[in-house]
Amino acid sequence: MSGRSERVRGKLSYAEAIREALDIAMDRDERVVLMGEDIGVYGGAFQVTGDLFGKYGPERVIDTPISELGGAGVAIGAAMTGLRPVFEFQFSDFAALAMEQIVNQAAKLRYMLGGAVSVPVVMRFPAGSGTGAAAQHSQSIEAWLGHVPGLKVVQPSTPEDAKGLLLSAIEDPDPVMIFEHKLLYKTKGHVPRGHYETPIGEAALRRIGHSLTIVATSIMARKSLSAAEELARQGIHADVIDLRSIRPIDRETVLASVRKTGRLMCVYEGVKTLGIGAEISAMVAESDAFDFLEAPIVRLGGAECPIPYNPELEKSVVPQEPDILEAARNLVQGRI
């Protein structure tokens, strides 16, 4: 839309990139409003909305009471009737309080009403472990929403995508759920200026190799990329796919890579069982790419355990770079 504004500038953090997207969207469209707990003068639990309250005021940056079910429902009702709400959950864990409105209402209304209504709501979920906040503030529950037709679900891993996917989401006529890993908020990267959209449903091939395919989500895409650099020094060359979107999934990008490499590893932070890696694995195993597989499909996911408080324990229950390295080496060297 905003044409030739793709000049690169100083790096922005992931949180700043999100804030910039919100600012741009609010500036171009009066209907965009922000809702959530402590997003006003406090600037958000993770300082994502920052001073947007100062710029747009309480009419458009709306602090909600601690009422996740109701708050999400209000955003949904508002979206049905002309606003474009972006609702921030303080932690993705609290989605558990609002599943009824997200799943039974937002996801299904268009369908149940035979297309007579749209629910263009965006919900943002700070997710993941690594902050010492323990079991009720550290979950990765994107797989729940990825299982729900009617929703779109994305997990940006870079500042550029955080902005572009959010701008896409706000334009989208359907409900879009954005999982933002808390440890990413301070990571920096180049972010194009102005308005641009990163398409929902497209994975990013971040690195090209031939020895194996690594499909990773969110912060695991970064860890996998970094591991892949080290692997390359050891003569193992990975395709690294940052999935970005888990509903819909970019099937073709994954399959094309697996057809080339013959080896697949999925890396994700959510609990391994029934996590996103299960879907990627199954999607490949049922496709024509199956015939190209030279080894079992490896999943590196979170342990079957709530997130513990102790920092060493906490690290031990989600994949870390050394785990990725080791699993990749074993996979390529036929040691599984």
Ligand X SMILES: Cc1ncc(C[n+]2csc(CCOP(=O)(O)OP(=O)(O)O)c2C)c(N)n1
Residues annotated as part of the active site: 68, 137
> Which CB atom, from 71 or from 156, has the smaller least distance to other proteins?
71
Binding flag, residue 245, ligand X (CB under 6 A): no
Residues between 91 and 120 that touch other proteins (CB under 8 A) = 93-94, 97, 100-101, 104-105, 109-118
Burial class (CB in 10 A: 0-12, 13-18, 19+), 142: buried
Q: Is-cis flag, bond preceding 175, omega within 30?
A: no
Instruction: Choose from ligand X, a second copy, other proteins, none: what does 256 bind? Cβ within 5-8 Å by kind.
Output: none
- Smallest separation, CB 15 to other proteins (Å): 13
- Told to check if 64 binds ligand X by CB under 6 A, we report no
- Least distance in Å: CB of 279 to a second copy? 5
Per-residue binding string, ligand X, 12-41, x by CB under 6 A, is -------------------------x----
Q: Which residues, in sequence order, are bridge partners of residue 122? A: 86, 176
Nearest distance in Å: CB 28, other proteins: 16
DSSP alpha helix (H) spans, the chain = 14-28, 52-56, 68-80, 95-99, 109-112, 142-146, 159-171, 219-233, 251-261, 276-285, 311-316, 321-332
- Closer residue to other proteins, CB minimum distance, 54 or 334: 54
Is residue 66 near ligand X by the rule CB under 6 A?
yes
Taking the C-alpha atoms of residue 321 and residue 336, their distance in angstroms, rounded to an integer, is 18
CB of 151 to ligand X, least distance (A): 20
Q: Are 137 and 92 in contact (CB under 8 A)?
A: no
Establish if 103 lies at the interface with a second copy (CB under 8 A).
yes
d(CA 164, CA 148): 23
Instruction: Tell me how crowded residue 89 is: count the other CB atoms within 10 A of its CB.
Output: 26
- Closest contact distance (angstroms) between CB of 106 and other proteins is 10
Using the minimum distance from each CB to a second copy, give the nearer residue, 186 or 315: 315
Label residue 66 left, alpha or beta by phi (over 0 means left) and psi (-120 to 50 means alpha). beta
Only one of the segments 10-18, 156-164, 223-231, 266-274 lies at the binding site for a second copy (rule: CB under 8 A); that segment is 266-274
The binding site for ligand X (CB under 6 A) comprises 37, 66, 68, 90, 94, 97
